[in-house]
Structure 1
Amino acid sequence: MKAVSSSVRTAKTPAGCIEYTLERKKVKNINLRVRRDGTVYVSAPSRVPVREIESFIAAKCSYIKQAQEHFRSRTETAAKERRFAQGAAVMHLGRPMELCMVQSAAESVTAEGQRIVIALRDSSDLTRAERLYAKWLDGRCREVFTNLMREIYPQFAAMGVPFPQLKIRAMKARWGSCHYTKGMIVLNRYLIEAPLHCIAHVVAHEFCHFIYPNHSRDFYSLLDRVCPHWRSDKAELERLVVL
């Protein structure tokens, strides 16, 4: 579906002013969604007047505020869980792991059972330990994401898609993006916290954008074909990993 127009507006509601992004699209009804970052997105047919849209938002204001508070609380909880400390719990490929700093003449980071062991000369030097862990995690992201891209790619090679470049970034509002004109996929560093099948659905999603650089019906038809369980994978990912 091609957007006719997009604008950022503010609606007055019984719960106070609510800023929202309005997209005019070829849809039958007014649709409202609160995103994980707390922003409000509304799509509506071009024929529906703004006053009717804002009446709809006002009627949904309690739900909007509750959803925004829910996402804010989840984000704060995730930030606390990601604090770096001896014995802290971190998620890695869908499994809870314990950070363990140990003293050693040789520096290394290894995953051992339910622990991620960080060996360094001074086990109390959390700044150095965190740097070692971050470097190791970046390597794990590149290894895991690249392997998944190689597994999924043959389906798209048959459609004439060149194997894309991979970039990894820490992002707060999306799991990935496709720069189809540059032949590049960007994946969120936090995906490494999720099970492999959840990461795979994001990779498949971004590959589909090389064929359909939008979220049209054809795009979702292709995604259904290459990743039939993407809806449940997406729901699980959003339940397990908070951006």
Structure 2
Amino acid sequence: MEQLRQVEGPEGPIRYWLTRKRVKNLNLRLDSGGEIRVSIPWNCPPEQADRLVRDKWPWLRRGLERRQAPPPELLPELSRPDCLAQLRQSLDRVYPLTQPLGVAYPQLKIRAMRSQWGNCHWMQGYITLNTALVRCPPRLRDYVALHELVHFLHHDHGPGFYAVMDALMPQWRQLRQELKPYAALLR
């Protein structure tokens, strides 16, 4: 059963929905409608949830602001062959950065994906890029293509992965932030 709670935050009252569940940890999320939701274990005092919401208010505020911001201007949808051509151009632009590191040119596959912009199948030698990327600016496509290429060197998101990203595309963190407003394309 959900309970509507309110805590005093640094900028005034913050309302959120509290649910007790069979969970081990406190879970905080901002749902698609902009509602703040917290799940807590059965034996957890609600004051812990209040404290979590207060402590995470800067993160919550940024998420709420993103949802209220006007959506980015989208490039037009393309046919599947044109989509493949555009995404191959991105791969071609960034591949020379990884080639000296021993990355073989991968096979490129495309498909519509709901939760990710791309993925790397390093053992099979191919990457998959989300067809929705063609509606994003080319610099963001290039960032995603490079991200997947770097996974041929570092299969996880550990320090080595980020060190290579920093060396090859120092502005990648900014590009990742620019990509976030396009997340609606994933749904």
Q: TM-score if structure 2 supplies the norm length?
A: 0.64
Which residue in the other structure is 1:227 paired with? 169
**Structure 1: runs of 5+ lacking an equivalent:** 1-11, 24-29, 39-49, 79-89, 98-133
Which residue in the other structure is 2:136 paired with? 194
| Cα-Cα RMSD | 4.2
Q: From the CA coordinates, give the structure whose radius of gyration is larger.
A: 1
Which residue in the other structure is 2:53 paired with? 60
| Displacement after TM superposition at 1:219 (Å) | 0.6
Matched, 1:175 2:117: yes
Which residue in the other structure is 1:16 paired with? 18
SS of match in other structure, 2:170: coil
Flag the 1:211–1:69 CA change in 2: closer, same or farther, 3 A.
same
Between the aligned partners of 2:68 and 2:116, the Cα distance in structure 1 is 18
Give the structure with the higher percent strand. Answer: 1
Residue 106 of structure 2: which of 138, 148, 164 is its match? Answer: 164
Point out which structure has higher relative CO (alpha carbons under 8 A, 6+ apart).
Answer: 2
Give the structure with the higher percent helix. Answer: 2
Contact in 2 for aligned 1:194/1:241 (Cα 8 Å): no
| Displacement after TM superposition at 1:55 (Å) | 3.5
Flag the 1:69–1:228 CA change in 2: closer, same or farther, 3 A.
closer
Flag the 1:22–1:147 CA change in 2: closer, same or farther, 3 A.
farther
Say how many residue pairs are matched.
160
Between the aligned partners of 1:211 and 1:221, the Cα distance in structure 2 is 11
Flag the 1:72–1:237 CA change in 2: closer, same or farther, 3 A.
closer
**Structure 2: runs of 5+ lacking an equivalent:** 6-16, 35-42
Flag the 1:65–1:147 CA change in 2: closer, same or farther, 3 A.
closer
Between the aligned partners of 1:238 and 1:175, the Cα distance in structure 2 is 11
Flag the 1:196–1:58 CA change in 2: closer, same or farther, 3 A.
same
Equivalent runs, 1:82-93 vs 2, <5 Å:
91-92=74-75
Which residue in the other structure is 2:95 paired with? 153
Equivalent runs, 1:102-117 vs 2, <5 Å:
none
| Displacement after TM superposition at 1:239 (Å) | 2.1
Flag the 1:143–1:60 CA change in 2: closer, same or farther, 3 A.
same
Identity among equivalent positions (%) equals 28
SS of match in other structure, 2:128: strand
